[in-house]
Amino acid sequence: MSQVECDLCFYLVKKYYGRIVATVGQFLCKNRLQTLGQIIHGTKLKPSLVRKALCVLIKHGLVNFARNKKRMEYSFDTNGTTHILMIPKIIYTTKSLYGDPGEMIIEETLMHGMIEKDSIINTVNRRLEEVSPKVENGVVEKVFNDLVAARFLISEPVIPLDDENKEKAGDDVEVDVGSKRKRICSDDEIENIAKKVKVLDTYSVNFVRFNQYFRDQYIVNGIKQKFGAHCGEILRAILRISEVTTSPQAERTQPISSNEIRQALPVHLIMPIIHVEQYLNIMISDPGNLLQKIEESSSNLYVVNLKKCVEAVCQANVLSYILERYGSKSCRIFKLLLLKSHLEQKQVEDFAMIPSKEAKELLYQLWSDHMLIMQEIPRTVDHAPSRTYYLFNVNINKVIRTLLTRSYRTLLNLLARQRHEVKSNKRLAEKQARVEHIKVTIENADEAQLQEIDEMLTPAERDQLQKMEHCHNKLGKAQIQVSNTAFLFSLHLTY
């Protein structure tokens, strides 16, 4: 992980799980594989606190562990930053798909990391009864089963050892071997202990499935913008069919026939099979190879090239960034190099139709900001500049990696600015909370009393509160936009 990503991880983990957990997470970010003793020595924390922090990180899927010879080693999950950033979007998506019960189920699961089914259902039922006394029996359990069926929640069995079983597992037969002592436990004893141990059926949020859902949403939106709403819905139907049959890491979906696609369309978009095939042929004719046709026997099968789709969406985001930051002429040069690959400065001037001096400045600016790479091809052994070809090219993976780092830095700055705003207006926010609390607690208050309570806040303070709220809204929207962009770039780098 880069330093910026480590700092962002520390800030996000601290925000959700506390300072001690964040300290352990940051140490693992910087040092990769570490044993428990190394973590204790590096963080200068008490062993009991380090163990609890590791338990929290493991339960929330932020730390992986594996046995290396005789030692257990821990490492921070490289996708941990993406998972934490997408938490608000995960909750909002679940609410839009499954309503309030689904939102509360996901909230409880995210809060605990791993939790039993009965505990989730009981907690959500209590929360719903507080909001609405008339809650139908079985609604929460049905929504929970739907989330499991859609793989938004996954089962993770955990075997807890109570004190009695721990003693049985630890009281092994001791045999002297020289100066050392070995612990040996017979197979029958292990089998008897295993029978008495209860396996808890716990559940956790499947971040991979949510990432797959968000990826499909971005692809469908991109197809809608390029080919229209009908093509977007047809592609959505293909992706919905392939959710179960296709691995999240696969580069292409499984082959699907046009009849299956037509049957999976929404009711209001049912159309003749010939129209479906016409829309499919429109997408197949695109040079980007986003949709491909496989001819087998008498039927035509279609596959979506997920890798090409993600590359196209990311490339559109990169071009938008180049256009906004460097201008239309720089964007034209960037597109030209994507299309033609290696070009000299003179060739760039001719193809892009930009004056020599201006083209040189734009190329140097893009190269100095790591948007372009330059390759030197000497004609002689002495590498003289006058006898050397300088070819410019675009390495899209390197550009996306650079922009991902900048996105993380921007998020870190936005979070720091938000924390500064909260800290600087803390007294005013507490005063507003006290005023609202007084208004709620007073029963049967007339308008004069309420107006007198409102006057506790001066006009200047009300203006300051309005400015603070506006600033928080802008910072929140900026965080959402940058988080979505960072998610897309990190998704591209996984393929």
For 16-41, the pLDDT digits (tens) are 889 999 999 989 988 888 899 999 99
Query: 175: number of CA atoms within 13 Å, CB side?
Result: 7
| Strand ordering across the sheet containing 153-158 | 115-116, 200-205, 153-158
- Above pLDDT 70, what percent of the chain? 89
φ and ψ at 182, to 5 degrees? -105, 150
Mean pLDDT within 179-185: 42
Assigned token pair, 4: 């910026």
Assigned token pair, 284: 């197949």
Widest Cα–Cα separation across the chain: 94
Q: How far apart are CA 365 and CA 325, in angstroms?
A: 11
Q: How far apart are CA 334 and CA 393, in angstroms?
A: 9
Asked if 89 and 105 count as a contact pair (C-beta separation under 8 A), the reply is no
CA angle 414, 415, 416 (to 5 degrees): 90
Mean pLDDT within 170-186: 40
Kindly report, residue by residue over 364-403, the tens digit of the pLDDT.
Answer: 999 999 999 998 888 877 778 777 888 999 999 999 999 9
Tell me: pLDDT of 14 over 80.
yes
CA angle 46, 50, 55 (to 5 degrees): 150
Q: What are residue 76's DSSP bridge partners? A: 63
Q: What is the mean pLDDT of the chain?
A: 84
Mean pLDDT within 327-338: 94
Give kind and range of the element (H or E) at residue 399. Answer: helix 396-424
Asked if 442 and 449 count as a contact pair (C-beta separation under 8 A), the reply is yes
Give kind and range of the element (H or E) at residue 4. Answer: helix 3-17
Give kind and range of the element (H or E) at residue 390. Answer: strand 388-393
Cα(first)–Cα(last) distance of the chain, in Å? 18
Name the packing angle between helices 459-494 and 87-112 (round to 10°): 90
Give kind and range of the element (H or E) at residue 71. Answer: strand 71-76
Lowest mean pLDDT among 63-77, 142-156, 312-326: 63-77
| Strand ordering across the sheet containing 63-68 | 34-35, 71-76, 63-68
φ and ψ at 426, to 5 degrees? -65, -45
Q: How far apart are CA 40 and CA 456, in angstroms?
A: 51
Asked if 210 and 152 count as a contact pair (C-beta separation under 8 A), the reply is yes
Asked if 79 and 68 count as a contact pair (C-beta separation under 8 A), the reply is no
Kindly report, residue by residue over 439-479, the tens digit of the pLDDT.
Answer: 778 767 777 877 888 788 888 888 998 999 999 999 999 99
Q: What is the pTM of this model?
A: 0.83
User: Left if phi > 0, otherwise alpha if psi is -120 to 50, otherwise beta: which for 353?
Assistant: left
Kindly report, residue by residue over 349-365, the tens digit of the pLDDT.
Answer: 999 999 999 999 999 99
In the prediction, which pLDDT does 198 show?
Answer: 54
Kindly report, residue by residue over 258-304, the tens digit of the pLDDT.
Answer: 888 888 888 888 888 899 889 999 999 888 888 988 875 556 788 99
Q: How far apart are CA 198 and CA 297, in angstroms?
A: 53
In the prediction, which pLDDT does 174 show?
Answer: 37
242-to-264, 398, 442 alpha-carbon distances in Å: 11, 31, 57
Lowest mean pLDDT among 93-102, 256-265, 423-432, 444-453: 444-453
Which residue has better confidence, 312 or 442? Answer: 312
